[in-house]
Structure 1
Amino acid sequence: MAKRELASLRSEKTIVLALLIQLFVAAFSSFLVVGLVSLYDPGNAAGITVETAVAGDAADELAAAAESTDSMEPRLYETKQAAVDAFTAREVDAALLVTETPRHVLEVRVLVPDQGVASTLVVVQAREALRALERAERADRAAHLTSTPLELPPRAGASPYFGFTYTVLVPLLLFLPVFITGSVTVDSLTEEVERGTLELLRVAPVTLTDIVEGKLLAAAGLAPVQAALWLALLSLNGTAIAPASSAVGTAAGVVSLLGLTAGLAALVTALGAAVALVSPDRRAAQTVYSLGVLGLFGAAALSPVNPANVAAKLAVGSADTSTYLAVAAVVALGVAGVAGARTAVRRYGLD
C-alpha cells in the first residue's frame, strides 16, 4: 500500500511543485537569504543610505544620534521649515524635527515617504535614531534624576542573517513538508472514498487498517526524508546545522531535528486520516484539516518550548534538556496520534 501511494504521488502536480519550491529554497538558501532578510528585517538592508534633514531645538544631539546608526546621513538645517521644504522637494529622504517642551522633554516629528518600500526603510532607520537619542539623553540626564529609571534592553549584536536562517528558514523547511504530508493523506483517503476505490481495495487480502496505515506510512515517511535533504543542502550552502564540539553532539542535534519532524508528521497525518474518514468530502475535509493544523501550531506557539523554538535551538546547537524532552514529547504524541487513528479506522470498518 505504501509503494502504491508513493507511486501515485508522482502524478500530483501540486505536490511535486511544492517539493520543487522547497528544494529550490534549500539549494539556493545562501543567495535567497540576503533578499529575504530585507523583508524580514528592512533595517539591515545592505547599501541603503537614508539622507535625513534635522532641525529644531536639540538638532545637534539628534544629528549625532542619527549619525550613530548604520544607514542614516543627517543634514542640519537652520529652521524646521527649511528642513520640511527640503523633504518636500525630495532633496532628502526623511526629516526629523525636534522640539523641547518647557518640561525639557524632547518631542520629535518624523517626516517619511507616504508609501512604498522606501517608507518602511526610512521608518526603521528613524526608529533606530530615536533609540540612540533616548540612550544618549538617559546618559546625559542620569545625574539630575531623583529616581533610577528602568534599564533599556541591551543592544542586540547578532547578525540578522543568522537570526533569519535559524529562526525562520530552518523551521519553514522542516514544517512545510509536515503540513503537506497531512494534506496528502486527506486527499488520498477522500479520493478513494469519492471514487469508490476504497471498497474495491478492501476486496484484496488487506484490512482497512492496513490500507490506511500504508497511506500514513507513505505520507509521514516523506517528511523526515525531505527534512534530511533540506538540512544537507543548507549545510552545503554554508549554514552549519546543530554545530557542536564533537561529531556525536552534531549527530544528536540532527537526529533530534529529524525526530521532531517525524513526530509532527505522524501526528498531522493521523489527524488528516481521522478527518478524511469522518468527513469524506474532499473540500470540507481539507478545510477542517487546515484549520485544525493551524490551531494546533497556534496553540503550540503559546508554549515556551513550541516546535519552532525547539527546531531553532537544535539547529543552532544550543539545545538543553528541555529541548530534547520536547522532542521526545512530540514523538510520543505522534505515536499516540497513529494509535488513535488505528482505533478510528477499526470503528469505521465495523460500521
Structure 2
Amino acid sequence: MSRERDGGRESGSSRGARWAIARRELRSLRSEKTIILALTIQLFIAAFSSFLVVGLVSLYDPGSVDGYRTEVAVTGDDPDTLLAVAEERDGVAAEYYDDRGAAYQAFESGRVTAVLDANRNDDGRLSVRVTAPEEGIQTTLLVVQLRDTLERVERVERERNADAGRLERAPLPVPEEVGSSPYVGFTYTVLLPLLLFLPVFISGSIAVDSLIEERQRGTLELLRVAPLSLADVIDAKLLATAGLAPIQAIAWLLLLSANGTSIAGPAALIVLVAALSLFVVAGGVAVALWAPDRRQAQLLYSVATVGALVVATVLPEHPANTVAKFAIGTPTGTTWALLGIYCLLGVAAFLALRAGVGRLDPDSL
C-alpha cells in the first residue's frame, strides 16, 4: 500500500515536472522578438485576409483587377493571331503598327508599355519577341499580363496546327480552359497553405534554438532532476513546441472564417498541421541534440526543411494541394491517404526520437 502511494506520488510529481518544463518553454518565447514578430505578421494576414487578397492578387494576376489595362504595340509580318487574342482579353489593349520603327518609337516615348513583334518562321512557327521596361513594379505586372496572353496564343496555335493536319504526329489533346476566380485560387492555394505551414517550420526552428541554448548554458543538466529523465525533459519541450502550430492553425482558421473565407474541413486541416508539426519538431530536436553548435544546427535544420519540400514535389499530391482540397471540401482518396501517411510519419518521428534519446549518453550533452 505504501509503495503504491509512493508510486502514485512519484507519477504525479513527474507529470507536474513535465508541465512545469512545458510552461517554462512557452514563457521563454515571449523574449524571442523574432518569433513574436513572425506570429504578429501571420496574425495580421489572417485577420485582414479579405483586404490583403485583393492587393496580392493584383500583383500576380493584374487582369483580375477591374480597370487595369496594358497598352501594347503589336508589329511584325504575322500579327493576326496575337491581335485576336489580345482583343479577347480585358486587361490588354493592343494597337497594330505596320511600321516596326514606329512601334518602338511609341515604346520609347511612353505611349505604349511594351512592343510585341510577331513573325512567322520558315518552318511555320509563330515567334513573338517582347520588348518591355527593364525594371520596376510596372514591369512585374506587365510580364505577368503578357505571359497569360502568350500562353493563350500558344494554345490557339496548337489547336490550329492540329486541325490543319500540319503535324506529323497528333499532339496531346489540349485541355479545356477552366474559368475560376483568381481570388479563390490565391486564397486556397497560396494564402491558406502559407498560414498553416509557416507555424510548423517556425516551431521546428524554436525547438532547435531552445535545446541548443540549454546545452550551451548548461541548464539542460539542471532540468534532469528526479523524477525526470533526459527523455522526459525532451518530451516536455517537444510537445510544448509542437503544440504551438495546431493552436495557431485554429486561430488562423477562425480569423479567415470571420473574414468570409469558408473552410469546409477545419478538423482535417488541424490534424494535418499537428502531424507535420510533430514530424518537423522531432526532426529539429534530433538536430539540436546531435549538432555541436547553433550555427550548424540551424544549417542542418534548414537543409533538411528544404529537402523535405523538394521531396514533397514528387508526392502524388503536394501538401499545399492537400490543404486546398480539405479547405474547399473536395478531398479525394489520395488526399485522405496522404493525411494518414503524415500522421504515421509524425508518430514514427516521435518514437524514433525517444528511442534515440534513450540510447544517448546524457553526459555527452
Q: Normalization by structure 1: what TM-score?
A: 0.88
For 2:34, which of 4, 10, 14 is the aligned residue? 14
* Gap change, CA 1:120 and 1:236, over 3 Å in 2: same
1:68·1:129 contact (CA, 8 Å) conserved in 2?
Answer: no
For 1:155, which of 177, 180, 187 is the aligned residue? 177
AA in 1 matched with 2:222: L
Counterpart of 2:132 in structure 1 is 112
* Gap change, CA 1:201 and 1:158, over 3 Å in 2: same
Counterpart of 1:322 in structure 2 is 334
1:295 and 1:142 map into 2 onto residues whose CA distance is 41
1:50·1:73 contact (CA, 8 Å) conserved in 2?
Answer: yes
Counterpart of 2:70 in structure 1 is 50
Counterpart of 1:36 in structure 2 is 56
Counterpart of 2:144 in structure 1 is 124
AA in 1 matched with 2:321: N
Counterpart of 1:281 in structure 2 is 293
1:103 and 1:278 map into 2 onto residues whose CA distance is 61
For 1:294, which of 299, 306, 310 is the aligned residue? 306
Counterpart of 2:251 in structure 1 is 229
Shift of 1:275: 1.2
Give the 3-state SS of the residue equivalent to 1:53 in structure 2: strand
* Gap change, CA 1:203 and 1:137, over 3 Å in 2: closer
Shift of 1:133: 4.3
Give the 3-state SS of the residue equivalent to 1:108 in structure 2: strand
Residues 285-330 of structure 1, C-alpha deviations (whole Å, 9 max, x = no match)? 1211121122122212221233222112111211122211211111
For 2:262, which of 221, 236, 240 is the aligned residue? 240
* Gap change, CA 1:61 and 1:14, over 3 Å in 2: closer
* Gap change, CA 1:321 and 1:144, over 3 Å in 2: closer
Identity among equivalent pairs (%): 53
User: Where does 1:162-173 land on structure 2 (aligned, <5 Å)?
Assistant: 162-173=184-195
User: Where does 1:66-105 land on structure 2 (aligned, <5 Å)?
Assistant: 66-100=86-120, 105=125
AA in 2 matched with 1:184: I
Residues 65-96 of structure 1, C-alpha deviations (whole Å, 9 max, x = no match)? 21111211122334222222222222212223
Shift of 1:203: 2.8
Q: CA RMSD in A?
A: 2.4
Shift of 1:266: 0.8
Q: Normalization by structure 2: what TM-score?
A: 0.85
1:52·1:73 contact (CA, 8 Å) conserved in 2?
Answer: yes
Tell me, which stretches of 5 or more residues in structure 2 are unaligned?
1-20
1:96·1:110 contact (CA, 8 Å) conserved in 2?
Answer: yes
For 2:320, which of 305, 308, 322 is the aligned residue? 308
1:25 and 1:144 map into 2 onto residues whose CA distance is 51
Between 197-206 and 44-53, the greater mean CA deviation after superposition = 44-53
Counterpart of 1:266 in structure 2 is 278
1:164 and 1:152 map into 2 onto residues whose CA distance is 24
1:194·1:280 contact (CA, 8 Å) conserved in 2?
Answer: no
1:270·1:338 contact (CA, 8 Å) conserved in 2?
Answer: yes
* Gap change, CA 1:64 and 1:195, over 3 Å in 2: same
Q: Work out the number of aligned pairs and report it.
A: 341
AA in 2 matched with 1:346: G
Shift of 1:279: 1.7
Give the 3-state SS of the residue equivalent to 1:348 in structure 2: coil
Counterpart of 1:246 in structure 2 is none
* Gap change, CA 1:151 and 1:260, over 3 Å in 2: same
1:186·1:285 contact (CA, 8 Å) conserved in 2?
Answer: yes
AA in 1 matched with 2:296: A
Between 147-156 and 60-69, the greater mean CA deviation after superposition = 147-156
Give the 3-state SS of the residue equivalent to 1:154 in structure 2: coil
2:266 and 2:86 map into 1 onto residues whose CA distance is 43
Tell me, which stretches of 5 or more residues in structure 1 are unaligned?
243-252
1:68·1:132 contact (CA, 8 Å) conserved in 2?
Answer: no
Shift of 1:40: 3.5
Counterpart of 1:247 in structure 2 is none
